[in-house]
Structure 1
Amino acid sequence: MPIALWALTLGAFGIGTTEFVIMGILPEVAADLGVSIPTAGHLISGYALGVVIGAPLLAVAGSRLPRKTFLLALLGLFAGANALSAVAPGHEALLATRVLAGLPHGAFLGIGSVVAADMVAGHRRGQAVARVLLGLTLANVAGVPLGSLMGQELGWRWAFAGVAVIGAVAAVVLRSALPEQPRPAPVPVRREVGVFARPQVLLAFAVVVFGFGGSFAAYSYISPVLTGVTGYGSTGVALMLGLYGVGTTVGAVAGGRLADAAPMPTLYLFTGALAASLGLFAFTAGSPVLAPIAVLLIGATGFVAVTSLQTTILEKAKEAPGLAAAGIHSAFNIANALGALLGGAAISAGLGLTSPALVGAALSAVGLGLALLLGLSERRAAPARRTAVAPVPEEFADEVPEPVAA
């Protein structure tokens, strides 16, 4: 694989790390800035807001720039925003830099995947795209645990400084290794946007927001739960975050195969399994033995469902692949913001540190209901599609009237 492809992977690794590392250092950030844990949780929602805004807007704006120039600009924005996070003087300033850091997230992953596919032979395009997205998976396995451990032992600012260095290194390597890219052809934006008015596409995005929002409700506050309820220290929290990453990796691999075989049944089964895993974590968080099992299950079941959802959305919006990919990232980060806000509200209401897991179970249960509704609409639409393309039997061919001119 070309060196430039590894630079894209490194960029995705940094993006995945900065998105989730805050969850491992939330108590340290809250204590240092003098705010409550639910208030510090707004930093998670702030990053998600940046992704929601930046993914579609920058994807459209970037269509007018050479792809290499655009990718380097995105990495520069990413590295600079994380460097500002490392020196933010207070909660409000840190919140602003988190929003700024989220802006390039979706556009970099979307355009980076397109560039990666163009760098290799046709039969290796899928592997190239998977290599870029591997950076996100590795971030959950290694980047988030190591960044959390660094933030807990050396200070939370070092975690963001480390991510800024990753972004800068990725930009330097990409600038030297990636050949100049042609300016992409103009995209009829209005036609693509029209795809998102389809009820099935909107339903699929709603499943993302509620189904995966349940996972974020619990994961956003996993560090205070593991320290305050389970009784783990900083090393134990880092190991549990790594275990969650292992679960997401297993889920992503298994989800690809299951989604190819039966996307909708896979979506039903594992959205329901995610709700059950979140409920399990709420009742086993006090056990150092059972809590890791629940954390592993949350990561695995959630990412199996995610893969099926991505397949479904891209199929329903196949006329608009660029905006569909950006829309998926926006939907996931709306889920991120929704889960963090509702989980923090439950803690603020005095329901306890494990209450976000119960909130998450409820959100995922709503997601399951929406998934079933999506499947029902699919079954109702299928007969109409078959009727529209049904051939005329030969024995009745002579009885079909000639078309009448308008």
Structure 2
Amino acid sequence: MLKYSVLFFLIMFMIGTDTFLISPLLPTLQAQYDVSTSIAGWMIGAYTLGSALFALIAGPLSDGWNRRTVMISGLVAFSISTALCGFADSFETMLLFRFLAGVSAAFTAPQVWASIPAVMPAARIAKTMGIAFGGLAAAQALGVPIGSWLAASDWPVPFWTIGTASLLLAAVAFYLLPNMKPSRQNGQSTSILSRYTPLITNGKARGGFFAYLLLHLGSGTAVAFIGKWMADRFELSVGGIGNVMMCLGFGTLLGSIISSAIVRKLGITTAVTAGMLLIVALYAVGPHAAGIPMTTAIYFIIFTILGVIFPLVMGLLTALNASIRGTISSLANSTMNGANTLGAWLAGILYVQFGGYEAIGIFSAICIALSLGSFRIGGLLGSKEMQTGQQTKSAS
């Protein structure tokens, strides 16, 4: 069973690395394509837009297909589209290939979460879920900096490397994974809308997903131009930006590790509320920090808190309706990527038109504050806290 855990970890590591790769490369690619700062963020947004749009249908549709086939096909398409980014000779072709990579990721990532219960014993499902989530956190800690270091020799190298590695993973998945065909019930024709109806008609679900959108809009806007800001303000090279991003990524990884311990100590409502309030303050003051050490320390704390909060909020969302957790996960993924798409676009406008990164910090702080208010007013925090907190303890 270890082979499946390692495979799922590596798949999520590759997807996570590709997701965040553009941020530290943004100054280099902006110069490469000679585009303005206000539109450069679309090299991030194209990927998240593709993922956001197709995640809405990928999860519900794939419930009726062989998950092994979907995962392998998605990985192959992901590897090809990512490798093609390294050959993009114009801004427009880069946007196209990034969009296609996002579409491929939308079909691949949900299969990881859906396949774990199918191939793992019940006693190891929760642990394997944690390992797969750790792949995303590790990508932010190690994948992005490694990509930055590879780009120091030539900017296409990270795309070619990720593409090649993903193709090898597809081959490994072909030999390791069993067929995971849908049951007769899942194979029956069911409209996509009907799978979302329980969420659309639930006020708590609507409020929760709106709050989740604001949470990712704030964090996504902040991270989209953090590399550009550090290059402009501190004159950091791509490698230097990679070092900072590695430190911040370790913050996310640390947060995911200590998340269950925080819940046992404080409870979900207190942990999420206190964490988001602290993030609001740090986003507001972060752009004014003097020097790289202080700046890195502030954003390390932010990323650590986000690493604690994201799994907790995801647990609250999936607890809304246990019978459609796959659809909830797909909608959460679409919400996250939609927010990151909008954030990348807004970050460019704010950076150019409203005083640089300080405006981004204020906007992110406002989004997190509104998100917290929506979580509390909508009722997602509190009512199922004891149940979800107990599940978190059991999983840990």
Tell whether the structures are fold-level matches, with TM greater than 0.5: yes
RMSD: 2.1
| Kept in 2: contact 1:254–1:304 (CA 8 A) | yes
Matched with 2:82 is 82
Higher relative contact order (CA 8 A, sep 6+): 2
1:272 aligns with 2:263: no
Matched with 2:148 is 148
Q: Which amino acid is 1:66 matched to?
A: N
Deviations 1:170-211 (A, max 9, x none): 101111122232334444555431122111111111111112
| Kept in 1: contact 2:16–2:135 (CA 8 A) | yes
Matched with 1:355 is 359
Work out which of the two has the higher radius of gyration on C-alpha atoms and give 1 or 2: 1
1:328 alignment partner, one of 332, 336, 339: 332
Matched with 2:227 is 223
1:233 alignment partner, one of 221, 224, 237: 237
| Kept in 2: contact 1:240–1:295 (CA 8 A) | no
Find the aligned partners of 1:354 and 1:233 in 2 and give their Cα distance.
Answer: 21
Q: Which amino acid is 1:39 matched to?
A: I
1:193 alignment partner, one of 178, 193, 196: 196
1:165 aligns with 2:169: no
Give the alignment's TM-score, normalised by structure 1: 0.87
Find the aligned partners of 1:349 and 1:372 in 2 and give their Cα distance.
Answer: 33
Matched with 2:132 is 132
Gaps of at least 5 residues in structure 2 are 386-396
Q: Which amino acid is 1:225 matched to?
A: W
Matched with 2:104 is 104
Q: Which amino acid is 1:208 matched to?
A: Y
Deviations 1:8-48 (A, max 9, x none): 22111110001001001000000001102331101111111
Q: Aligned ranges for residues 206-221 of structure 1 at < 5 Å?
A: 206-221=210-225
Q: Aligned ranges for residues 5-404 of structure 1 at < 5 Å?
A: 5-151=5-151, 153-187=152-186, 188=190, 189-197=192-200, 198-259=202-263, 262-284=267-289, 286-375=290-379
CA drift of 1:158 comes to 1.5
CA drift of 1:344 comes to 1.1
| Kept in 2: contact 1:78–1:104 (CA 8 A) | yes
| Kept in 2: contact 1:62–1:70 (CA 8 A) | yes
Which segment drifts farther, 194-203 or 355-364?
355-364
Q: Which amino acid is 2:159 matched to?
A: F
Q: Which amino acid is 1:318 matched to?
A: A
Give the alignment's TM-score, normalised by structure 2: 0.90
Matched with 1:399 is none
Shift in alpha-carbon separation, 1:301–1:341, aligned structure 2, 3 A? same
Q: Which amino acid is 1:180 matched to?
A: N
SS of residue paired to 1:180: coil
| Kept in 1: contact 2:27–2:231 (CA 8 A) | no
Find the aligned partners of 2:98 and 2:180 in 1 and give their Cα distance.
Answer: 30
| Kept in 2: contact 1:23–1:222 (CA 8 A) | yes
Find the aligned partners of 1:368 and 1:82 in 2 and give their Cα distance.
Answer: 35
Shift in alpha-carbon separation, 1:191–1:319, aligned structure 2, 3 A? farther
Find the aligned partners of 1:298 and 1:133 in 2 and give their Cα distance.
Answer: 19
SS of residue paired to 1:289: helix
Find the aligned partners of 2:352 and 2:256 in 1 and give their Cα distance.
Answer: 33
> What is the total number of aligned residue pairs between the two structures?
379
CA drift of 1:309 comes to 1.3
Which segment drifts farther, 294-303 or 72-81?
294-303
Find the aligned partners of 1:376 and 1:343 in 2 and give their Cα distance.
Answer: 29
Deviations 1:313-352 (A, max 9, x none): 1111323111001111111112212222222111121512
Which segment drifts farther, 101-110 or 91-100?
101-110
Find the aligned partners of 1:369 and 1:195 in 2 and give their Cα distance.
Answer: 23
Gaps of at least 5 residues in structure 1 are 383-406
Find the aligned partners of 1:314 and 1:116 in 2 and give their Cα distance.
Answer: 16
Q: Runs of 4+ in structure 1 displaced over 6 angstroms?
A: 376-379
Deviations 1:45-97 (A, max 9, x none): 11111111121212222223211111101101111110221111211111111
CA drift of 1:220 comes to 0.7
Q: Which amino acid is 2:102 matched to?
A: G
| Kept in 2: contact 1:117–1:129 (CA 8 A) | no
Shift in alpha-carbon separation, 1:221–1:358, aligned structure 2, 3 A? same
CA drift of 1:263 comes to 2.2
Which segment drifts farther, 321-330 or 63-72?
63-72
